[in-house]
């Protein structure tokens, strides 16, 4: 049988475990589960893989993409350029085909002929009559549509040399309990595999090879990990208002609570989830619960966090523990609801009117999402203030490879400074806002603790050390100064920045999902003879080591995903850092920043420096 490779005479440099494949689909066509199956199969083959959903704010009809980078070296940030495009969306096919690198491949549904203007001389075409195959093989209209996706995954298994057994095992896992679905799915995979093997030279020069890189790793998204972290951290109350991309935090919390938080004896629930009428109510519920001694959180994104501002000020000033997960998306206003950004740093650091400052945590991996979520409840109780965990859509909604999650069974929750009835007995006069330990953190009591001692009035209006209303300016100023002192104490409880230093003159500062591009940037610049130290910030207010890092370098690149260099602003305000010592590298198109972008910006900035001096000796 003659085997076509394609009409193209272009040669492709063989690539093993190092390429980008992108799926262009129509939203609502059932492609998501097929694409997830593809990525997870690669993960099970031990290959480092990072999928990114680029999806519309829409339920059905608009374009959606799924981009998968495969990289044996473990560079799992985004990379521009597509090596293989699965072009399944007629609305975007021109742009999708144009985005393929020279020598790349295009898999498309050849049930309909490809328009002339879509032909390129420098790429290979992989025509498969997906629609016709499904029409012939399946009877139900829904199956004919859905299985097109499974057939192309089957074809890819032949093209790329995916272990077919891994795919069939995944189908069995996925449909456990719905056995009727297993056989038709496997049949669809086989149809694709068979068509590709019979009509093309398989595998292509792009190939996958089983590896061993994923031992002790899991593939999980950040929001799922946060929901699980809330269960482990002892949250009993989740109050929320649905908002992309934060919704799956509460979905995950609900799922694991239903599994892990039902009292075995009575069948009753050790959790409460309230879908509030808006984000104001959501955080109000969490604050009411925190005031009354239960661990509570809310999860939201930009528009919701804007609504929460007044309540954040109340919790800061009246010193009530509360946890807020901000899964950042593109602003301002409605912005791009399904794209990612790090653009709420300033609005969260100083949320609400008046002088305020809030504790922010910046996870970079799903594992850190789990850990910071659990830790945030201890921190909120210890510091008696809001803790805002700053994730983003990229981390929250995409599967990522990370180390397995662990829990120390010896760990007890830190409930902070709370006086019980016996302790109150020994105190002559309880002062809710007295700085008894000289660390800025006062003692609190839960309502109902003692018949005659420990009650106080919580208020957002100015109050003295005994929680009584005051308009005395000095008393007010003393309270504000103690809150400043408390925030300084808080730093010692926060995760320290991760610093990698070898006395280079140049440094990089970044946080969150920007981290995915850093190692690749370092290695690539290293090959050009440029070395940089790095600091990944994990919390705000900053540790002293942050200012030290800036001061010990001639120039630091502050790399972040927003327009206005918000992290750099925070460094200027809080570390007294010199503008001339910091150079911004910004990305704010809503898509994850790439190593290529960072490297290009660093190289472009070099003429401003005396490069030779900056190079290591």
Partner 1 sequence: MSYISKPKFMHPEMSTNDLGLTRRDYEGTLTTLCGGCGHDSISAAIIQAASGMSLEPHRVAKISGIGCSSKIPSYFLSKSHGFNSVHGRMPSVATGANIANKNLHYVGISGDGDSASIGLGQFCHIVRRRINMLYIVANNGTYGLTKGQLSATADLGSTTKSGEESQFDNIDMATLAIELGASFVARSFSGDKEQLIPLLQAGLTHKGFAFIDIVSPCVTFNNTDASAHGYKNTWENYIALSALDFVPMRKEITTSYAAGKEKEITLHDGSVIHLHKTNGNYDPYDKENALHHINQHKKQGKIATGLLYINQSTSDLHELQDTVDKPFNSLNSHDLCPGNEALSDINNTFR
By CB under 8 A, what part of segment 382-421 binds partner 1? 404-409, 411-413
Rounded Cα distance between 482 and 320, Å, is 15
Quick check: bond before 470 cis, omega within 30? no
Residue with token string 């390129």: 120
Rounded Cα distance between 394 and 386, Å, is 24
Is residue 21 a contact partner of residue 79, using CB atoms and an 8 Å limit? no
Report if residue 291 touches partner 1, rule: CB under 8 A: yes
Per-residue exposure over 420-455, b if at least 16 CB sit within 10 Å of its own CB, e if not: eeebbeeeeebbbbbbeeeebbbbbbeeebbeebbe
Is residue 359 a contact partner of residue 469, using CB atoms and an 8 Å limit? no
SS3 at position 95: helix
Report if residue 261 touches partner 1, rule: CB under 8 A: yes
Report if residue 165 touches partner 1, rule: CB under 8 A: no
Q: Out of 269, 332, 488, 606, which residue is the one contacting partner 1 (CB under 8 A)?
A: 269
Q: Out of 3, 95, 112, 270, which residue is the one contacting partner 1 (CB under 8 A)?
A: 270
Least distance in angstroms from the C-beta of 41 to partner 1: 12
Report if residue 258 touches partner 1, rule: CB under 8 A: no
Is residue 77 a contact partner of residue 592, using CB atoms and an 8 Å limit? yes
Q: Which of 220, 541, 231, 218 is nearest to 374 (CA)?
A: 231
Rounded Cα distance between 224 and 256, Å, is 9
Residue range at the interface with partner 1 (CB under 8 A); choices 293-301, 512-520, 559-567, 584-592: 293-301
Report if residue 140 touches partner 1, rule: CB under 8 A: no
Q: Compare residues 371 and 601 and give the one whose CB is closer to partner 1.
A: 371
Residue range at the interface with partner 1 (CB under 8 A); choices 23-31, 187-195, 453-461, 579-587: 453-461
Chain centroid, CA 267 distance in Å = 34
Q: Which of 337, 395, 601, 366 is nearest to 513 (CA)?
A: 395
Least distance in angstroms from the C-beta of 294 to partner 1: 3
How many angstroms separate the first and last alpha carbons of the chain? Answer: 62
Question: Interhelix angle for 164-174 vs 31-44, to 10°?
Answer: 120
Rounded Cα distance between 483 and 92, Å, is 54
Q: Compare residues 16 and 405 and give the one whose CB is closer to partner 1.
A: 405
Rounded Cα distance between 159 and 165, Å, is 15
Report the site for partner 1 in 189-228 (rule: CB under 8 A).
217-220, 228
Q: Compare residues 144 and 217 and give the one whose CB is closer to partner 1.
A: 217
Report the site for partner 1 in 542-571 (rule: CB under 8 A).
none
Report the site for partner 1 in 421-450 (rule: CB under 8 A).
445-450
Q: Compare residues 216 and 580 and give the one whose CB is closer to partner 1.
A: 216
Least distance in angstroms from the C-beta of 513 to partner 1: 19
Report if residue 290 touches partner 1, rule: CB under 8 A: yes
SS3 at position 76: coil
Structure tokens at 362: 């910046």
Report the site for partner 1 in 308-327 (rule: CB under 8 A).
310-311, 314
Least distance in angstroms from the C-beta of 434 to partner 1: 17
SS3 at position 202: coil
Least distance in angstroms from the C-beta of 248 to partner 1: 14
Chain centroid, CA 507 distance in Å = 24
Q: Compare residues 286 and 393 and give the one whose CB is closer to partner 1.
A: 286
Report the site for partner 1 in 228-257 (rule: CB under 8 A).
228, 231-232, 234, 236-237, 239, 256
Report if residue 30 touches partner 1, rule: CB under 8 A: no
Least distance in angstroms from the C-beta of 207 to partner 1: 23
């Amino acid at each position: 049988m003659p085997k076509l490779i394609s009409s193209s005479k272009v040669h492709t440099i063989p690539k093993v475990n190092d390429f980008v494949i992108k799926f262009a689909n129509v939203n609502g066509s059932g492609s998501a589960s097929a694409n997830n199956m593809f990525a997870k199969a690669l993960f099970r083959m031990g290959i480092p893989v990072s999928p990114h959903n680029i999806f519309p704010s829409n339920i059905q009809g608009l374009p959606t993409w799924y981009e998968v980078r495969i990289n044996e070296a473990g560079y799992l940030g985004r990379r521009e350029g597509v090596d293989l495009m699965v072009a399944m969306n007629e609305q975007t096919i021109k742009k999708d085909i144009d985005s393929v690198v020279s020598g790349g491949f295009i898999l498309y549904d050849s049930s309909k002929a490809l328009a002339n203007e879509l032909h390129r001389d420098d790429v290979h075409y992989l025509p498969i009559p997906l629609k016709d195959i499904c029409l012939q093989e399946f009877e139900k209209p829904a199956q004919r549509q859905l299985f097109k996706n499974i057939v192309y995954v089957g074809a890819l298994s032949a093209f790329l040399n995916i272990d077919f057994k891994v795919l069939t095992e995944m189908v069995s896992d996925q449909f456990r309990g719905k056995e009727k679905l297993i056989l038709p799915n496997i049949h669809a995979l086989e149809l694709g595999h068979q068509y590709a093997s019979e009509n093309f030279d398989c595998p292509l020069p792009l190939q996958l090879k089983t590896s061993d890189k994923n031992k002790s790793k899991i593939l999980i998204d950040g929001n799922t990990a946060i929901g699980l972290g809330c269960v482990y951290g002892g949250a009993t109350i989740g109050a929320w208002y649905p908002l992309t991309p934060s919704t799956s935090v509460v979905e995950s919390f609900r799922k694991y609570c239903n599994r892990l938080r039902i009292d075995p004896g009575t069948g009753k629930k050790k959790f409460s989830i309230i879908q509030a009428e808006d984000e104001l109510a959501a955080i109000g519920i969490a604050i009411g619960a925190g005031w009354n001694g239960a661990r509570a959180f809310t999860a939201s994104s930009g528009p919701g966090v804007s609504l929460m501002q007044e309540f954040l000020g109340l919790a800061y000033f009246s010193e009530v523990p509360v946890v807020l997960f901000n899964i950042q998306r593109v602003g301002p206003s409605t912005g791009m609801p399904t794209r990612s950004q790090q653009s709420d740093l300033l609005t969260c650091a100083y949320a609400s009117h008046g002088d305020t400052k809030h504790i922010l945590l910046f996870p970079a991996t799903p594992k850190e999402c789990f850990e910071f979520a659990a830790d945030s409840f201890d921190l909120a109780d210890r510091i008696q203030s809001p803790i805002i965990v700053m994730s983003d859509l990229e981390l929250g909604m995409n599967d990522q490879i990370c180390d397995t999650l662990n829990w120390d069974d010896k760990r007890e929750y830190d409930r902070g400074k709370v006086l019980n009835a016996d302790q109150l007995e020994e105190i002559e006069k309880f002062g809710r806002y007295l700085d008894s330990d000289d660390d800025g953190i006062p003692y609190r009591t839960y309502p109902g603790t003692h018949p005659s001692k420990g009650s106080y009035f919580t208020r957002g209006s100015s109050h003295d050390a005994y929680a009584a209303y005051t308009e005395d300016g000095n008393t007010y100023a003393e309270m504000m100064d103690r809150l400043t002192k408390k925030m300084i104490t808080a730093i010692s409880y926060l995760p320290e920045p991760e610093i990698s230093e070898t006395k280079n003159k140049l440094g990089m500062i970044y946080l969150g999902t920007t981290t995915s591009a850093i190692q690749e940037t370092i290695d690539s610049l290293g090959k050009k003879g440029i070395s940089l130290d790095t600091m990944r910030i994990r919390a705000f207010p900053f540790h002293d080591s942050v200012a030290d890092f800036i001061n010990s370098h001639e120039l630091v690149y502050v790399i972040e995903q927003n327009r206005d260099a918000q992290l750099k602003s925070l460094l200027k305000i809080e570390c007294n850092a010199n503008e001339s010592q910091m150079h911004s590298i910004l990305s704010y198109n809503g898509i994850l920043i790439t190593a290529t972008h960072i490297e290009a910006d660093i190289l472009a900035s070099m003429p401003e420096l005396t490069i030779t001096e900056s190079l290591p000796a």
